[in-house]
Amino acid sequence: MSSYRDALSAFLAAPEAAGWAALPVFAPDGPAERACAAVDAERAAGHVVAPAPERLFAALALTPLECVRVVILGQDPYPTPGHANGLAFSHVGGGALPRSLGNIFRELADDLGTGAGRPGDLSDWARQGVLLLNTALTVREGATQAGSHLRLGWRAVSDAILAAVSERRPHAVFILWGAPAQAKRALIDESRHLVLASTHPSPLSARRGFFGSQPFSRANAWLAEKGEAPIAW
C-alpha cells in the first residue's frame, strides 16, 4: 500500500469497517483524511513512520464498532522499528517485550494467574471485542520519537472513536492507564459504562497504583453482570 491516505480508503471500503466508516470523522476531507495527509507529508520529508500503512487501522478492523466490549487506550505506537502492529500496547518482532507490556502481563498473571510467557501480539484480545486504541495512530520511528505525531490531527479521530463507543454501545469497559488516558474520561457516559482508571504500566509509575489494580478480573466481573462472556485475557 503506497500511502496512508490509500490505507484510509481501503479501510473504509472493507465490510468490517461499516460501523466506523459512518462516523463523521471519516467523511471525505474530514479529520481522518487530513491526519493521513499529514503523515504522508512526514514520509515525503524523509521520516520513517510506524505502523506500516496496511496496519494503520488494524485496531478498528479487528474490533468493529458493534463488537466493542472493552477499550484500552494507549498514547501512540511503539517507535522501535518493527515493533508496532496498529494495536495499542501490542508488540511484534524479536527481542524483549517493551517494559510497559511486560508490566501488563505481570499484573495479568497476578490478577488471573494467566499470561506468563504469552506473545506480545494482542490480536487475540482485539478479536474478542477489546479495542486497543492509541490516541495517535502513527509515530516516527526512532528511539527518541515517542509522541512525535500527537499533533498531526489524530486526537480528533481517536476522540470521535471513543465518543462513538460511549454513545452506541450499550455497555463497555474503558480501561484508562495514566493521566493522558484519564483526560478522555469526559467522553464516556459513566451511567452506562465502567471506567477502570489507574496509573500507567510504565516502569516509572506501575508501582504507584497499576500493580494490584486488577483491571482484567474487574472488567470480566462487570461484563458478566451485563450478561456478556468474559474476555479470555
Is 76 noted as a catalytic residue in this protein? yes
Give how far the C-alpha of residue 166 lies from the chain's centroid of Cα atoms, to the nearest Å.
Answer: 15
Measured between alpha carbons, how far is 155 from 170 in angstroms, rounded to an integer? Answer: 24
Q: Which three cell numbers stand for residue 110?
A: 497476578
Measured between alpha carbons, how far is 52 from 157 in angstroms, rounded to an integer? Answer: 18
Tell me whether strands 139-140 and 49-50 are parallel, antiparallel or unpaired.
Answer: antiparallel
Measured between alpha carbons, how far is 112 from 216 in angstroms, rounded to an integer? Answer: 7
Q: Are 137 and 56 in contact (CB under 8 A)?
A: yes
Closest CA to 59 of 137, 157, 168: 137
Residue of 6, 29, 40, 76 marked active site: 76
Catalytic residues: 76
